[in-house]
């Protein structure tokens, strides 16, 4: 099923010159386009194409919105890459977050990738991901750092360190036959970082040698000033841990490895033993300790069985669930359903995170439940520095623009308003409006002899909905049916016929689920059965087909149900072409009637005795 949802992001809407002055590309041009990451936060995938080579930067997923019922991931449409299977493809990863590496298993199932290049922490996460799917041997993975280079026939790539909320985050300098491109990856500027500092001198040098186009992270384009340092968050958490008398539970993003490391180190300094809950958190801590990013020894960790043997002020619980996810560890703790942890009055719960837009209600529900158990809950506010972002705010974006000094600018990684705000920031630093490209997924930019133009050509870049591990795509029709089922339920109509005599054998039987309360709607359902019965009887007075009978049931029943209830359930016709099946259906109906009558008589008897 490949009926995909088309992205609503506007096409290139920069200056009018960009909007209308589009050109056709030549074989000698370098093409730049995104299959994901524009007009959305997540699903990052940016491509650079020259003749017989395609360089891909990142391969991420986007997590579904609430209206995408039953969808696990949203990934880019790889159809264009499949179509160009003869072209050599290399994948470079900027860092190890899911919106940059989560799509790799799906990509490898569909597209032949010759090599993957990724920084150290991302390599460990990718290996873990591919190992779980038994795909480790499907591609060669190379570890890179700021001193590495990747050389293809037409592209040469160098790297520089950036600061982000995960270790080993890199920006990329891409040398193409038609100019230089800098891709920042996700970044921020932190003057007192935890972990590796940003390569300011390298960025300044790249700016001096000349950059044709900058592609820069836009996630926090609407946030003014500089973001606070990760070091301040670490100090705040340490102070809370030092002053807390009882048990401490800290919830944060598992992907924020530096934060997790600071929490664990603060616990050790305060003499607390640590226990980790949440699969993703356990994986990150295991990998972090293996790579030396998390420098906390095994003697400081305890098992679930040891949890209740220690004094409350000697325990620190680190868990997932800071976004109110229903199945995450913190939600189960708040619901009282966690296998090992039962909240007690005096527990302190710290949310070292900010709610992602759309998650506010879920987080508030969890916070309320925690308060009901008597816990003391701390969340990020103007009074507490319990969280900081991993993405550049406006002043940091300006600093990147001033360091790189690009001739052309393409904001990436953000919703359309974020891209637009980043474009306005770029104009403040002196980049002409006509040199700024507001693109959507699938828009193509042409690089030609050091200049950049919008192309008249457009690539298919729809969303693919993944249900489980199936990457064939859940069609829009399937999602529409799920929405109808959730809102209106279903009605099944079971009709027994004898096709040899071309007649209906009995009045149809109607079964409802999630539509109306059957006990209170017997009159409605009997009336519906009669209407369908007469419509089928009339239809079968002439030669007909099973398909026509099903259409008759739908076309008769749907308007009737809407007229009576103003709801549109899914109507499922079931035709039984057998006298034996009809007898069974009647037996089931009679048993149901007898059961209902017996229950009602029992109630009447009980009421008579009590009166």
**Could you give the residue numbers annotated as active site?**
217, 391
Q: What is the 3-state secondary structure (H, E, C) of 161-224?
A: EEECCCCCEEEEEEEECCEEEEECCCCECCCCCCCCCCCHHHHHHHHHHCEEEEEEECCCCCCC
Residue 304, C-beta contacts closer than 8 angstroms, at least 6 positions apart: 275, 339, 340
Instruction: Fill in the DSSP letter of residue 15.
Output: S
**What is the C-alpha to C-alpha distance for residues 461 and 483, in angstroms, rounded to an integer?**
24
Can you spell out the DSSP letters for 22-77?
-B---TT-EEEEEEESBSBSS--EEEEEETTEEEEE----BPPPTTSTT--EEEE-
φ/ψ (deg, to 5) at 436: -110, 130
Cα radius of gyration rounded to whole Å, the chain: 30
**What is the C-alpha to C-alpha distance for residues 598 and 604, in angstroms, rounded to an integer?**
10
Q: What b/e readout covers 524-538, taking b as 16+ CB neighbours within 10 angstroms?
A: bbeebbebbbebbee
**What is the C-alpha to C-alpha distance for residues 236 and 135, in angstroms, rounded to an integer?**
42
Q: How far is CA 607 from CA 458, 519, 596, 598, 600, in A?
A: 74, 19, 17, 14, 11
φ/ψ (deg, to 5) at 147: -95, 0
φ/ψ (deg, to 5) at 51: 50, -110
Residue pair 352/387 in contact (Cβ under 8 Å)? The answer is yes
φ/ψ (deg, to 5) at 567: -135, 150
């Amino acid at each position: 099923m490949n009926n995909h949802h088309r992205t609503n992001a506007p096409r290139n809407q920069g200056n009018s010159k960009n909007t209308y002055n589009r050109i056709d590309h030549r074989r000698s041009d370098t093409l730049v386009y995104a299959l994901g990451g524009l007009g959305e936060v997540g699903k990052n995938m940016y491509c650079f194409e020259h003749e017989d080579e395609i360089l891909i930067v990142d391969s991420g997923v986007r997590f579904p919105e609430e209206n995408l019922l039953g969808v696990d991931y949203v990934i880019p449409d790889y159809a264009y890459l499949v179509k160009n299977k003869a072209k050599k493809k290399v994948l470079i990863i900027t860092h190890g977050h899911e919106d940059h590496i989560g799509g790799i298993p799906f990509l490898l199932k569909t597209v032949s990738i010759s090599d993957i290049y990724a920084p150290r922490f991302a390599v460990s996460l990718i290996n873990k991901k591919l190992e779980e799917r038994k795909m480790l041997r499907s591609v060669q993975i190379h570890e890179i750092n700021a001193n590495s280079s990747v050389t293809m026939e037409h592209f040469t790539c160098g790297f520089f360190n950036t600061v982000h909320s995960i270790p080993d985050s890199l920006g990329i300098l891409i040398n193409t036959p038609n100019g230089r491109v800098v891709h920042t990856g996700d970044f921020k500027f932190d003057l007192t970082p935890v972990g590796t500092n940003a390569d300011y001198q390298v960025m300044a040098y790249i700016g001096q040698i000349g950059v044709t186009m900058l592609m820069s992270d836009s996630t926090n384009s609407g946030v003014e000033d500089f973001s606070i340092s990760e070091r301040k968050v670490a100090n705040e958490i340490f102070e809370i841990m030092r002053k807390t008398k009882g048990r401490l539970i800290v919830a944060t993003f598992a992907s924020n490895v530096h934060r997790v490391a600071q929490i664990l180190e603060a616990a050790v300094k305060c003499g607390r033993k640590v226990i980790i809950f949440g699969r993703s958190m356990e994986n990150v801590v295991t990998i972090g300790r293996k790579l030396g990013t998390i420098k906390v020894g095994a003697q400081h960790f305890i098992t679930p069985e040891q949890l209740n043997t220690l004094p409350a002020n000697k325990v620190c619980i680190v868990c997932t669930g800071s976004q109110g996810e229903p199945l995450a560890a913190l939600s189960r703790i708040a619901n009282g359903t966690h296998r090992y942890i039962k909240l007690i009055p005096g527990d302190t719960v710290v949310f070292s995170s900010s709610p992602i837009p759309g998650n506010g209600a879920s987080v508030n529900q969890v916070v309320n439940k925690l308060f009901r158990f008597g816990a003391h809950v701390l969340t990020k506010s103007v009074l507490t520095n319990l969280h900081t972002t991993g993405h550049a705010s406006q002043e940091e974006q300006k600093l990147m623009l001033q360091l790189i000094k690009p001739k052309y600018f393409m904001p990436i990684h953000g919703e359309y308003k974020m891209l637009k705000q980043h474009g306005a920031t770029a104009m403040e630093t002196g980049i002409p409006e006509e040199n700024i490209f507001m693109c959507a997924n699938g828009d193509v930019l042409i690089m030609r002899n050091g200049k950049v133009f919008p192309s008249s050509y457009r690539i298919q870049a729809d969303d693919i909905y993944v249900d489980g591990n199936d990457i064939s795509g859940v069609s829009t029709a399937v999602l529409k049916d799920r929405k109808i089922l959730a809102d209106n339920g279903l009605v099944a109509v079971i009709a027994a016929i004898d096709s040899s005599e071309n007649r209906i054998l009995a009045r149809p039987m109607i079964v409802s689920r999630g539509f109306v309360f059957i006990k209170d709607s017997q009159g409605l359902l009997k009336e519906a059965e009669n209407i369908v019965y007469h419509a089928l009887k009339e239809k079968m007075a002439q030669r007909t087909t099973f398909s026509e009978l099903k259409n008759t049931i739908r076309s008769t029943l749907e308007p009737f149900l809407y007229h009576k209830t103003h709801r549109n359930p899914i109507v499922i016709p079931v035709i039984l072409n057998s006298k034996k099946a009809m007898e069974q259906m009647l037996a089931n109906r009679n048993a149901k009637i007898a059961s209902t009558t017996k229950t009602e008589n029992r109630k009447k008897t009980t009421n008579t005795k009590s009166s």
